[in-house]
Chain A
Amino acid sequence: MEIEKFSYDNKIVKYFAYATIIWGITGMLVGLTIATQLAFPEFYNDYLGFSYLSFGRLRPLHTNAVIFAFVGNGIFTGVYYSLQRLLKARMWSDKLSYLNFWGWQFIIVCAVITLPMGMTSSKEYAELEWWIDILITIIWVAFGWNMFATILKRRVKHLYVAIWFYIGTFVAVAMLHIFNSIEIPVSFTKSYSAYAGVQDALVQWWYGHNAVAFFLTTPYLGLMYYFVPKAANRPVYSYRLSIIHFWALIFMYIWAGPHHLLYSSLPDWAQSLGVVFSIMLIAPSWGGMLNGLLTLRGAWDRVRDDVTLKFMVVALTCYGMATFEGPLLSLKSVNIISHFTDWTVAHVHVGGLGWNGMLTFGMLYWLFPKLFRTELYSKKMANQHFWIATLGIILYVIPIYIAGFVQGLMWQDFNPDGTLVNGEFVKTVTVLKPYYIFRSLGGLVYLIGAILMFYNLIKTAKQGNFLKDEPASAPALAKYDNKKESWHKRLEGKPVQFMIWSIVAVAIGGLVEIVPTLIVKSNIPTIASVKPYTPLELEGRDLYIREGCNNCHSQMIRPLRFETARYGEYSKAGEFVYDYPFLWGSKRTGPDLAREGGLRSHYWHFQHMIRPKEVTPGSIMPAYPWMKEDDLNTSLTAKKIKALKRLNVPYEEGFEDKAVADLQKQANGIAKALVTDMYNKLPKELQKGYNIDAEIGKLEKKEIIAIIAYLQRLGTDIKAEPKTDSK
């Protein structure tokens, strides 16, 4: 057998490593910004009240930056390093590697520009507009192509378990991304989801849940199976367990999505399915965690000196905690409190800061000395980072857990006479301020740790000597008869078959959940009084999406006593049939708005959008003064109606041509009522010089009229009598 000489591409690993650090720090900085916006809303409203900086627009930037830029580049760093070595082959195509790198960074830059501009699909972790979705697909396929071609030209017989996780990741993310991003473009900056209401919610949370599974979990488990044995210098605890871990995890994870929609208008059977599979998920998750931790058996003394191992032990511990907590959160009784509160935020940060963050840091501390052929610049500083990061996690999650419990319980409090103790929603917000301040501090501490690491690693790089192409050699892969080998051994030898089986494993759960909900008639009882939005309401709804209102306001009243007492009749599936996309939301930083329509005057909404704190003392809502200044853009209205008609929204024939006229008429009506109200509230001496008609003419063109129209429409279709005004 001949020894072949080749080289590993280290430059691509270095590129991705720097990208993950830089974007990581950026993403954390945005996170810190929005955390302080909740803690000190006055400061932002008074001094930094720019539309680009408002919470609803920055929150998606934070989640996208952390998930796809920080963790995404972290995945590529680890995959490009370990894949080449596990296969004893250079990446198949350098061109594809660099297309992957630059394409991914370009997508991130697009996100950084478009999200603060308010270009968003509103679907969580999938906010980017349609053309960026297409770019993501292309770059993801380039990555997968390169990976598979490398696997096919490998010099080892079998695929190590880490690579299965990479394959599973590639397959599942491709499937999730494509199905969740099916949308009808209206213009460069706007598109409508192809699904509506309940279907859209189910597809979105099937995606959202599995983005956590297949973007934040499986690739990192792959990295764990490579880097923990590497750092500990001993093989994984149980290879058999890793096989079970892999198949069980990818098979089960995909079913659990509906646990994000408990007590919602989703059909009951889908909710139950989600709960059952969530509970079962504890088994493979903990199997994986224990497999990682037990790899250190007999080497625990090394954890004392080796900073990489320290980070990885905390990462695995956080993974264990988060994957134990996740199934608990999917129990309906727990979910009542956790859903819509900061408890969920705490949960995801145990995963994000603990599992993804700490594993990335550990990997980078191990990788940089290898890539630059030197020692780490300062072990002491790395150890300091370890303690700072751990402290940061604790400081972050503990206050925010408490905030979640406090608010969740306050919402449920009843007086003996059956009225709500905290009838005013804002009471349950002002009480959270100290927790929000501490949470921001925790985030700041964690960020300082990451900056310290950046410095340490740059110093390491400077003192070292980077080897772009690392020479390696290995015997060529001989042809062999694999008929006698065990099934899994054979499967590992055939990556294409392996991929197909992975697709089957993830597709089964997906199909079972998605397919039956596509059959609208049997699952979603239609309500005759529910009508499509008027053009003005539709434009208002699109402004609601642009400003990211859904990041803080839900539109989903659960069938629970404390919810119906506060908000009114619980939400029905049939109410959302024209909601492209659905806007149920997942967090109530402000109150639910599903029954907002008709509760208050136009005047109240107008004042509240411009000066929320003056209308509701203690409110932490950002002000939206630009909505009063900016004219509503109606150039796309006809196109929007046309697009929705293609999606089967029953607008009458030729309605798109009358849409703008209809919009102006409704806007005029609202402006008239609003201005009259303003006039009546003026002191007598000021009323004299007030030109009502001029004011109406000015206001009716503004964005604020459209958003008022939308808010006044919410929930009115089936609302008989407004029950309470207790929000």
Chain B
Amino acid sequence: MLRFIKQNLETISGIEIFPLISLVIFVLFFVIMLVRVFKMKKTYVSEISDYPLNDSDDEEIFQQQN
């Protein structure tokens, strides 16, 4: 399998651009992630960060909520 990959890659011209492309993907990924993270709603953020804390008395919590 490995030999197969090797031989095919050798014929790719301009493989040098490979790292550059991935760097661009990398930067884009982070910019988009940062923008979206800071646009997240506060209510949601506080709801989910309470997840570890409300693992007991589920029934009670549920009944209180309804």
Interface residues of A (CB under 8 A from B): 1, 3, 82, 85-86, 88, 156, 158, 160, 162, 182, 194, 225-226, 229-230, 233-236, 239-240, 243-244, 247-248, 251, 269, 273, 472-475, 486-489, 492, 505, 508-509, 511-512, 515-516, 518-521, 648
Contact = CB atoms under 8 A, between A and B. Distances in A.
B59 to A, nearest CB: 5
Contacts of B14: none
A611 to B, nearest CB: 44
Contacts of B46: 235, 239
B50 to A, nearest CB: 5
A291 to B, nearest CB: 11
Contacts of B36: 486-488
B59 A486 contact: no
Chain A CB count within 10 A is highest, among B5, B6, B25, B37, for: B37
Contact of B39 (A88, A486, A505, A648): A486
Given A473-B58, A512-B22, 13 more contacts: A85-B55, A194-B2, A230-B52, A236-B49, A239-B45, A239-B49, A247-B29, A273-B19, A486-B41, A486-B44, A489-B40, A492-B48, A508-B22
Contacts of B9: 515, 518-519
B5 A518 contact: yes
A247 B41 CA distance: 19
| Dominant SS among interface residues on chain A | helix
Contact of A160 (B45, B52, B59): B52
18 contacts: A1-B66, A158-B51, A160-B48, A230-B53, A234-B53, A239-B46, A240-B37, A240-B40, A244-B34, A247-B30, A269-B19, A472-B58, A474-B58, A489-B40, A489-B44, A492-B48, A511-B22, A516-B19
| Dominant SS among interface residues on chain B | helix
A467 to B, nearest CB: 13
Contacts of B52: 82, 85-86, 160, 162, 225-226, 229-230, 235
Contacts of B48: 158, 160, 239, 492
Contacts of A473: 58-59
A82 B34 CA distance: 28
Contact of B30 (A156, A234, A236, A248): A248
Contacts of B58: 88, 472-474
A387 B56 CA distance: 32
A505 B26 CA distance: 9
B59 A3 contact: yes
Nearest to A501: B29
A251 B9 CA distance: 24
Contact of A488 (B19, B29, B37): B37
